[in-house]
Amino acid sequence: MVSKAASPTAVATALVLGLAGPAKAGVEVGIGLDATMDLPDSGIDVPESHMGPGIALRLPTRVRLRDRVAIRVEPSMGLSWGQDRVEWLAYEEMVPVYSDSHSTILSTLGLLAGPEISPWPDASTAPYMGASFGFLLARHWHHFDGQEERLLGLAGGGGGVHPYTDQLAPVVDVHGGLRLEIGERLAMEVEAGYNVAFMREARLAQAPTALEAVRTAYGLNQLRMGINLVIPLAIGSKS
């Protein structure tokens, strides 16, 4: 008797299932706190902007398809401090001027989702890695002092944070870490990541429209390092 050869699709499916290991469905939630640092732009033809140090709070949620494979969904919020560049028209809207020495606060709300793998899930300290795609809702708060604030037509010269910009930006994240189980209902993870988002040019709210004031485009390239606490909510049995 001559047996039929397995189709390429069947072979690929069997290989993936074999690598993934036994099924172990489950859901877990966590909370993570990071220190972040924005790297300078490289190879992008835009004025240099740098957000510098910051902090981020994340809520990683995993749906485990198998021991080694999970889908991770992660809401987050963050704050960073630094400088960017703002351009506008001054002196009766006839002369283009700019500021890149003012202080800026970047606040973000994000949502990421993507696959994650753990090659050795039963190790005492289990490594994992993943990649995610999503969006950031970013607000840049700009603080101008003295002459710059007066040129922008802002009331109460020198009075603090005034104009801001809002935008929704795509973001890509890669991350990896080490997981330590602490009993059956708690785990701790040490995690590092790198995310990239392009902040396009955006108009300054609260600045006079005639000045055409904008924050110039730049690349946000954040390194992050932090700790997650993870709690399994539901764990299925292996099959």
Q: Domains in the chain and their CATH numbers?
A: 22-235 (2.40.160.20)
Residues 84 and 101: their CA atoms lie apart, in Å, by: 8
- Yes or no: say if 52 and 79 are a contact pair by the CB < 8 Å rule: no
Termini Cα distance of the chain: 33
Residues 68 and 113: their CA atoms lie apart, in Å, by: 17
Residues 204 and 195: their CA atoms lie apart, in Å, by: 25
Note the pLDDT of residue 97: 79
Note the pLDDT of residue 140: 92
Number of Cβ atoms within 10 Å of the Cβ of 108:
21
Q: What is the pLDDT along the chain (239 residues), one digit of tens a residue?
A: 444 445 544 544 443 344 333 334 589 999 999 999 998 766 555 556 778 899 999 999 999 887 789 999 999 999 999 888 888 887 777 778 778 778 899 999 999 999 999 988 878 889 999 999 999 999 999 888 777 766 776 655 444 446 889 999 999 999 999 999 887 789 999 999 999 999 999 998 877 888 888 998 888 999 999 999 999 886 554 44
- Yes or no: say if 54 and 81 are a contact pair by the CB < 8 Å rule: yes
**Is the pTM here over 0.85, yes or no?**
no
Note the pLDDT of residue 157: 46
Note the pLDDT of residue 42: 60
Note the pLDDT of residue 122: 79
Note the pLDDT of residue 161: 46
Note the pLDDT of residue 123: 81
